[in-house]
Amino acid sequence: MNFNTINETGAAPNEAETETAYKEKALSEFEFRIIRDYIHDYCGIFFEDAKIQTLAMRLSFRMAVLDIGSFLEYYNYLKFHHRGEAEMADLISRLTNNETYFFRETNQLSLLVSRLKEKKQAGSIAPFRILSCGCSSGEEAYTLAIMLDEAGVYDQCKIEITGMDIDQKILQKAESAEFTAYSLRSTDSERTERYFLKNGEKYLLDESIRNRVRFLHGNLVEHDIFEEIKDMDAILCRNVFIYFSDAAICRAVETFYNALARDGCLLLGHSESLSRITDMFIAERHKNAMFYVKREIRDV
């Protein structure tokens, strides 16, 4: 296939049709390794050897959309075509797992809310800054905004909550603040009624909460994006590192260290740990949850 004949938008005339019609191709070990390494360098997501079929399936779909016949051609397209970067964005959307829901792992969030409340009671007047990194469709960031609202932390206190994700499509969903019942499966009816407006099958989040969160497109393994993310009181990066290699986690965690304020904290998902990755953070364990605090540079 000559790249010049590829549809400039990268979108098939009918994606749904392609989805059912495309044939999954066999990915050789060589092709698998170079493409998996390219994806890994780009965003930290690492496909273990056992995931060769999964990757083949996802790549085959994009190749069918672009009418590209071989994996090597597709790899070259990603690397050298002027639409390569845009294609990477489409591919990433198919590679990431966007699973999330409101009030997920709330013990940890309650702990964070109490911590911010204490800081406020101790007289802190600086705005609190929180980053939900790998925010997906926004449920995590919005949950925190709801919990802070319920705890009265917004009174006389500015709180900036930013949701960041590499997947542009999912960020559009986050910005729309429109959810299905599936996203609300752990939200009690009282909260659903108070904070959402039901419209048919959809639930629209109340503006008062929507306006408290802004969304940013960014790749957490790229340092540039963190030039505007500084002095954070908390970074939530939950259920993201499970898809990363240790080397990529290490790189991301170093960036988080620099982006956090001196007494800032890092919240990972319950199955994620830094114990074999770095000693730049110390685990602070509480009854039902834990988070990481920065180790003083002089102690490292």
Ligand X SMILES: C[S@@+](CC[C@H](N)C(=O)[O-])C[C@H]1O[C@@H](n2cnc3c(N)ncnc32)[C@H](O)[C@@H]1O
Summarize as ranges the residues that interact with ligand X (CB under 6 A).
43-45, 96-100, 104, 134-136, 140, 165-167, 170, 219-221, 238-240, 269
Task: Report the residue number, 66 or 220, with the smaller CB distance to ligand X.
Answer: 220
Task: Report the residue number, 104 or 120, with the smaller CB distance to ligand X.
Answer: 104
- Report, in Å, the least distance between residue 285 CB and ligand X: 20
- Report, in Å, the least distance between residue 253 CB and ligand X: 13
Task: Report the residue number, 68 or 213, with the smaller CB distance to ligand X.
Answer: 213
Question: Do the beta carbons of residue 132 and residue 140 sit within 8 Å?
Answer: yes
Tokens 């957490």 label which residue?
A: 220
Task: Report the residue number, 87 or 140, with the smaller CB distance to ligand X.
Answer: 140
Q: Which residue's CB atom is positioned nearest to ligand X? A: 134
Task: Report the residue number, 28 or 97, with the smaller CB distance to ligand X.
Answer: 97
Residues in contact with 83: Cβ distance below 8 Å, sequence separation at least 6, in sequence order: 6, 8, 10, 77
With residue 246 as reference, give the H or E element that holds it.
helix 246-259
* Dihedral sign from CA coordinates of 37, 43, 48, 53: negative
Question: Do the beta carbons of residue 238 and residue 141 sit within 8 Å?
Answer: no
CA neighbor of 43 nearest in space, from 236, 215, 225, 244: 244
Residues in contact with 225: Cβ distance below 8 Å, sequence separation at least 6, in sequence order: 164, 216, 218, 219
- Report, in Å, the least distance between residue 21 CB and ligand X: 27
Task: Report the residue number, 68 or 96, with the smaller CB distance to ligand X.
Answer: 96
- Report, in Å, the least distance between residue 133 CB and ligand X: 6
- Report, in Å, the least distance between residue 42 CB and ligand X: 8
- Report, in Å, the least distance between residue 246 CB and ligand X: 15
Count CA within 13 A, CB hemisphere, residue 135.
Answer: 32
Residue 196 pairs in a beta bridge with 205
